[in-house]
A and B are shown apart, each in its own frame.
Chain A
Amino acid sequence: MGTGNSRRVRSALAACALSGTLLAGAALGPGTAYATGSAASAASAPSGQGETTLRVKMSGSGIDTLNPFLAFFDGAYDVFAAIYPTLNSLDEQGRPGPYLAESWTQSDDKLTWTFTIRDGLKWSDGTPLTAEDAAWTLDLIMKDPVAGTANGSLVSNFASVTAPDATTLVIKTKEPQANVTYVSVPRSGIPIVPKHVWEPLAGKLKDVKNDTFPLVGYGPWTLTDHKPEQYAKFDANKDFVLGRPGFDHMVQQSFKSVDAAVAALRSGQLDYINGVNPTQFKALQADKSLLTIQEVGNGWTGLEINHNARTRTGKKIGTGHPALGDPVVRHAIALATDRKTLVDKVRDGMAVVGAGYLPPAWPQWSWKPAAGEETPFDLDQANKILDDAGYTKGGDGVRVDPKSGKPLELRLGIHADDTDDAGISNYLKGWLETIGIKLKIQTLSMSALNSDLAKGDWDLLMDGWTTGPDPTFLLGIQTCAALPKDDGTAGNTDSFFCDEKYDELFNKQRTTFDQDERARIVGEMQSILYKADVNQMHFNANTLDVVRTDTVTGMIIGQPDAQGMYPAQSYSFWGYLKAAPATAKVTAAKEESGGGALWIGGLVLLVIVVGGGIALKRRSTADDRE
């Protein structure tokens, strides 16, 4: 009996030893812990002797391709903004400023723009950077359909682009175009590429991966390495015309889960994350080594209503509920939506209550309904207008459309991978039930939602858009021209909105060069959208950023307003440029961490040695015991 017990104990110890082997892997000796800890605090983990590296999380969508003529993902444009120049930069308000172009003028007929290009700039391989590079890039996008894959629409109104000399760029447009200075800006615009590198590749653009490092470019950084889905590495351009980067190197590391990125930030493997969620943000606020800031959002989250989907010729398509064509029903839905609660509960208060179609990140286009014109949260009023319009409640409490006889049972499509959508839909379901509208929530993938959207096979959809500082594209998807053709092709409408007055204003703002007047027209357009209740803005989520203060300083641009909100960070272009290493030294806590790791590594090693010894001894005496 005693032998049996003893065998069991030894076997258990041997099992522990094996588990210890696995854990040993986890510990990988104290060296791992120490390396991690020290790299963390140095922020600026040295790449060479005394050199510093800024480590940031790569934009969530990652890099689809490094070919600037073909890329669609934000991550790629983040990289392009760092390594390729643009004609204009953007200031804190999203207004165009100088970059390659020092200045620009328009002709009296508003059809010719003349940009004066800086003299003396050189690409990273030493070749002079001139107006000819810009002219060639823009001209190629205009004329070559493959080159225009990603950005063709931005130059669709261009008649010609020429470079009469090295410092002059002339753009002629077919019609007057107010937003020419937004066409080539960091991240949302067209990057200018070196003609001497790309001209030989022009005939086979579709096959160009652009992955011979270091890439020839000009910007605050030079791309020195990229591993798909892992990282992009940059060297600072110390002669950059808009200022020298504060770090010697930058690494953008890809994280597929923001939780993992947060873990990397907390353990010091990252210095900056742009775009955490409210829960993560609140948890990180308690960490003294981190700076948590909210920047005004550059997008909106809201509800699209399919009010009788139709084509450009007025042919009805899709399976939308006919009652949604009635402005009364749409307004009742707006009245039954408590946007303030959505901000408080779904975004933990980290959003602005929605109203205007354009987000607050670009204050020059910001619009709010005049006092007394806001749609309040008023369930009684919503019930009343539905009662008055003849939508009587059935026995099950669901109202019936008096015209079609159909109950007001509506499908609400939400994105499967969006937690905000899930939260909002639950609140909406409850509120709408109280006014006699029943919701059936359909959780769909983005691609399935897009497919249904184009065909009009939906009633209500949760939707969201972000936009760069020029509002033309976002406003354009609400024009009649965005409706699909009769054969179901073309069109990029969201809600099948089509309004003559809106279209007229849309065309007018495109040719209005006085920015204040243009803003007034854009405001009027947003007023039309607001009153139509077709695109109901719920909120503009604040962008939530976190920076390690023990490693980085100067990353956040601008000053907070009275509510503590920072201006939009212009897609990190300025932040990465102006960030500099903090002077903080390795903290005692980190050193302590290294010590703790030593202890754990030692303990694991002890377990392995003892367990292994027992197992070996047992094996050697097995025959004797038998």
Chain B
Amino acid sequence: MSSLAAAGPAKAKGQGAARSGFLPYLAGKLGAALVSFLVTLVIGFVIFSLMPADPVRTLTRGRPTSEAQLTQIRLQLGLDDPIWRRFLTFVGDTLRGELGYSWQFQQSVSSLVADRLWPTLLLMGSAAALSIALGLWLGIRSGWRHGSLFDRIASGASITLWSVPTFWLGMILLVAFSVGVGPIPSLLPAGGMSDPSLPQEGWAHIVDVAKHLVLPCLTMVLVVFAQYVTVMRSSIIDEMGSPYLLTARAKGLTDDAVRRRHAVPNALLPSVTMIFMHLGILVSGAITVEAVYSWPGLGYLTYEALRIPDLPLLQGTFIVFSASVIIMNLLADVVYRFLDPRVRAQ
């Protein structure tokens, strides 16, 4: 949200002035986002190209390959091209909306990303929605009654879970709920996104995917929701001494109404920032959770690209992830302008 500081020279001249200043504000933000994206393109290319690696050797490790074959593969992959030509090809492809051709999967990066986008958004989106809802709710309640039993339980539990390594928590939940431990029977599938032996469409498939989603989603939620609890709780505590709350109470509003209508909207701004940052990284998936539960997401795809390294795939996923973060930052800037009059006044 550092871009908020450069929100533009719009002057606070009442509502009309704020409206008239929006387009220049948006244009400025769009321009900054475009520059960020172009810089990201260059950084992405340079970083991955500098990686010490011999992708052809790693790719062909499992098969008997002759020298002629290796030479032919290097030629096919364009590895013999000078780096400047590879850069121009990369930029040209990107500007045309093409993300290149994966070396290991032998198909377009766009199709690989598209295949995994929905599973990624399903897992990360549902986990984000639950984390945000749970975290904000607990944060508001804990902050409003800080020091209470509820606060101590909620804050303690969330911080403890935040400290737990995701991979470890995933394995524990896997063993507990998939294999079953003691009185807990086997309740849920151990991995994957669906049961291959069931039909892959219709209501039964939706229920099946939901079952497979529970454990990875739960793992993500348990680890992530704490950040919303802590931010929201401290924001609420900061607002609690504000005179406007006293005024609200003096007007005879109930405690719930004071909290919901006055304290929460003002305390929500830092959480909005965090929510958009979270939304920005949704598409990048979660490598550890995807690995534990064999979820076919973009995070693990990136890890697979890194192993070779499959440069077109790495660069392609890097572009998608970067674009997502930049777009969400842009949206946050726009939303902030509507949520916070101080931004409009700048």
Whether the Cβ atoms of B58 and A446 lie closer than 8 Å is yes
Whether the Cβ atoms of A206 and B296 lie closer than 8 Å is no
- Say how far B177's CB is from chain A's closest CB, in angstroms: 6
Identify the stretch in A32-40, A101-109, A404-412, A563-571 within 8 Å (CB) of chain B at 4 or more residues. A32-40
* Contact flag A600-B184 (CB < 8 Å), given A154-B64, A263-B174, A267-B179: yes
Whether the Cβ atoms of A206 and B106 lie closer than 8 Å is yes
Chain B, 47-88, contact with A by CB distance < 8 Å: what is the 0/1 string? 000011111011111111111111111001000000000000
Whether the Cβ atoms of A260 and B292 lie closer than 8 Å is yes
Instruction: Tell me which of B76, B105, B154, B191 contacts A255 (CB under 8 A).
Output: B191
- A427 close to chain B: CB less than 8 A: no
Residue among A40, A145, A257, A259 with max Cβ neighbours from chain B (10 Å): A257
Whether the Cβ atoms of A260 and B196 lie closer than 8 Å is no
**In the assembled complex, which residues on chain B have CB atoms less than 8 Å from the CB atom of A453?**
54, 57
Instruction: Tell me which of A18, A233, A481 contacts B134 (CB under 8 A).
Output: A18
Residue among B69, B134, B290 with max Cβ neighbours from chain A (10 Å): B69
Identify the stretch in A19-27, A435-443, A550-558 within 8 Å (CB) of chain B at 4 or more residues. A19-27
- Say how far B39's CB is from chain A's closest CB, in angstroms: 26
**In the assembled complex, which residues on chain B have CB atoms less than 8 Å from the CB atom of A46?**
197
- Say how far B114's CB is from chain A's closest CB, in angstroms: 11
Whether the Cβ atoms of A447 and B300 lie closer than 8 Å is no
State the CA gap A8–B68 with chains docked (Å).
Answer: 75
Within 8 A of A (CB), among B172-231: 174-175, 177-180, 183-197, 200, 210-211, 214-215, 217-218, 221
Chain A, 1-19, contact with B by CB distance < 8 Å: what is the 0/1 string? 0000000110110010010
- Say how far A186's CB is from chain B's closest CB, in angstroms: 14
**In the assembled complex, which residues on chain A have CB atoms less than 8 Å from the CB atom of B174?**
259-260, 263
Whether the Cβ atoms of B188 and A490 lie closer than 8 Å is no
* Contact flag A492-B186 (CB < 8 Å), given A39-B197, A264-B191: no
- A609 close to chain B: CB less than 8 A: no
Whether the Cβ atoms of B180 and A255 lie closer than 8 Å is no
Whether the Cβ atoms of A472 and B296 lie closer than 8 Å is no
- Say how far B209's CB is from chain A's closest CB, in angstroms: 11
Chain A, 60-72, contact with B by CB distance < 8 Å: what is the 0/1 string? 0100110100111
* Contact flag A153-B64 (CB < 8 Å), given A263-B190, A450-B57: yes
Whether the Cβ atoms of A256 and B70 lie closer than 8 Å is no
**In the assembled complex, which residues on chain A have CB atoms less than 8 Å from the CB atom of B177?**
26
- B121 close to chain A: CB less than 8 A: no
Interface size class of B (residues with CB under 8 A): 35 or more
Whether the Cβ atoms of B307 and A445 lie closer than 8 Å is yes
- B308 close to chain A: CB less than 8 A: yes
- Say how far A74's CB is from chain B's closest CB, in angstroms: 6
**In the assembled complex, which residues on chain B have CB atoms less than 8 Å from the CB atom of A230?**
192-194, 196, 296
Whether the Cβ atoms of A146 and B76 lie closer than 8 Å is yes
State the CA gap A231–B309 with chains docked (Å).
Answer: 24
Within 8 A of B (CB), among A256-313: 256-257, 259-261, 263-264, 266-269
**In the assembled complex, which residues on chain A have CB atoms less than 8 Å from the CB atom of B68?**
152-153, 156
* Contact flag A594-B66 (CB < 8 Å), given A8-B149, A257-B294: no
* Contact flag A473-B64 (CB < 8 Å), given A145-B72, A447-B54: yes
Of all chain A residues, which has the CB nearest B301? A229
- B169 close to chain A: CB less than 8 A: no
**In the assembled complex, which residues on chain B have CB atoms less than 8 Å from the CB atom of A492?**
57, 65, 67, 70
Instruction: Tell me which of B76, B188, B200, B300 contacts A32 (CB under 8 A).
Output: B188
Whether the Cβ atoms of A28 and B188 lie closer than 8 Å is yes
- B254 close to chain A: CB less than 8 A: yes
State the CA gap A266–B73 with chains docked (Å).
Answer: 42
**In the assembled complex, which residues on chain A have CB atoms less than 8 Å from the CB atom of B71?**
489-490
Within 8 A of A (CB), among B237-268: 254-256
**In the assembled complex, which residues on chain B have CB atoms less than 8 Å from the CB atom of A8?**
145, 148-150
**In the assembled complex, which residues on chain B have CB atoms less than 8 Å from the CB atom of A40?**
186
Q: SS class of chain B's interface: helix, strand, loop or mixed?
A: helix
Instruction: Tell me which of B63, B105, B301 contacts A150 (CB under 8 A).
Output: B63
Chain A, 489-503, contact with B by CB distance < 8 Å: what is the 0/1 string? 111100000000000
- B98 close to chain A: CB less than 8 A: no
- B93 close to chain A: CB less than 8 A: no
Chain A, 528-572, contact with B by CB distance < 8 Å: what is the 0/1 string? 000000000000000000000000000000000000000000000
- A433 close to chain B: CB less than 8 A: no
State the CA gap A261–B171 with chains docked (Å).
Answer: 12
Whether the Cβ atoms of B51 and A36 lie closer than 8 Å is no
**In the assembled complex, which residues on chain A have CB atoms less than 8 Å from the CB atom of B145?**
8, 11
- A53 close to chain B: CB less than 8 A: yes
- Say how far B240's CB is from chain A's closest CB, in angstroms: 17
- A352 close to chain B: CB less than 8 A: no
State the CA gap A206–B214 with chains docked (Å).
Answer: 39
Whether the Cβ atoms of A15 and B63 lie closer than 8 Å is no
Of all chain B residues, which has the CB nearest A473? B64
**In the assembled complex, which residues on chain A have CB atoms less than 8 Å from the CB atom of B308?**
447
State the CA gap A263–B176 with chains docked (Å).
Answer: 10
Whether the Cβ atoms of A448 and B53 lie closer than 8 Å is yes
Whether the Cβ atoms of B185 and A37 lie closer than 8 Å is yes
- A420 close to chain B: CB less than 8 A: no
Instruction: Tell me which of B69, B153, B191, B193 contacts A261 (CB under 8 A).
Output: B191
* Contact flag A447-B55 (CB < 8 Å), given A12-B150, A32-B211, A149-B76: yes
- B293 close to chain A: CB less than 8 A: yes
State the CA gap A231–B197 with chains docked (Å).
Answer: 10
Whether the Cβ atoms of A227 and B296 lie closer than 8 Å is yes
* Contact flag A260-B185 (CB < 8 Å), given A8-B150, A22-B218, A593-B180: no
State the CA gap A225–B292 with chains docked (Å).
Answer: 24
Whether the Cβ atoms of A27 and B69 lie closer than 8 Å is no
- B115 close to chain A: CB less than 8 A: yes
Residue among A11, A600, A619 with max Cβ neighbours from chain B (10 Å): A11
**In the assembled complex, which residues on chain B have CB atoms less than 8 Å from the CB atom of A153?**
64-66, 68-69
State the CA gap A11–B151 with chains docked (Å).
Answer: 10
- Say how far B179's CB is from chain A's closest CB, in angstroms: 5
- Say how far B204's CB is from chain A's closest CB, in angstroms: 10
- B160 close to chain A: CB less than 8 A: no
Whether the Cβ atoms of B106 and A32 lie closer than 8 Å is no
Of all chain B residues, which has the CB nearest A149? B73
Instruction: Tell me which of B154, B196, B300 contacts A256 (CB under 8 A).
Output: B300
Whether the Cβ atoms of B141 and A11 lie closer than 8 Å is yes
Within 8 A of A (CB), among B16-60: 51-55, 57-60
Whether the Cβ atoms of B190 and A260 lie closer than 8 Å is yes
Chain B, 283-316, contact with A by CB distance < 8 Å: what is the 0/1 string? 0000000111110100011000011110000000
State the CA gap A228–B296 with chains docked (Å).
Answer: 8
State the CA gap A70–B69 with chains docked (Å).
Answer: 12
- A388 close to chain B: CB less than 8 A: no
- Say how far B143's CB is from chain A's closest CB, in angstroms: 13
Whether the Cβ atoms of A446 and B183 lie closer than 8 Å is no
- A622 close to chain B: CB less than 8 A: yes
Chain A, 145-189, contact with B by CB distance < 8 Å: what is the 0/1 string? 110111111101000000000000000000000000000000000
The interface of chain A, by Cβ under 8 A from chain B, is 8-9, 11-12, 15, 18, 22, 25-28, 32-33, 36-37, 39-40, 45-47, 53, 55, 61, 64-65, 67, 70-74, 145-146, 148-154, 156, 206, 209, 225, 227-231, 233, 249, 251, 253-257, 259-261, 263-264, 266-269, 445-448, 450-454, 466, 472-473, 476, 481, 489-492, 592-594, 596-597, 600, 619, 622-623, 626
Apart from A25-B218, A67-B106, A261-B191, what 19 extra A-B contacts exist at CB < 8 Å? A25-B214, A25-B217, A26-B187, A26-B218, A28-B211, A36-B188, A39-B195, A53-B197, A156-B66, A229-B296, A229-B301, A256-B291, A264-B189, A447-B51, A447-B309, A450-B53, A450-B54, A453-B54, A626-B256
10 pairs of A and B residues whose beta carbons are closest in the complex: A473-B64, A153-B66, A264-B190, A593-B185, A231-B196, A596-B185, A447-B53, A229-B296, A11-B150, A267-B186
Cβ contacts A to B, 5 pairs, < 8 Å = A12-B149, A32-B187, A55-B196, A145-B72, A257-B292
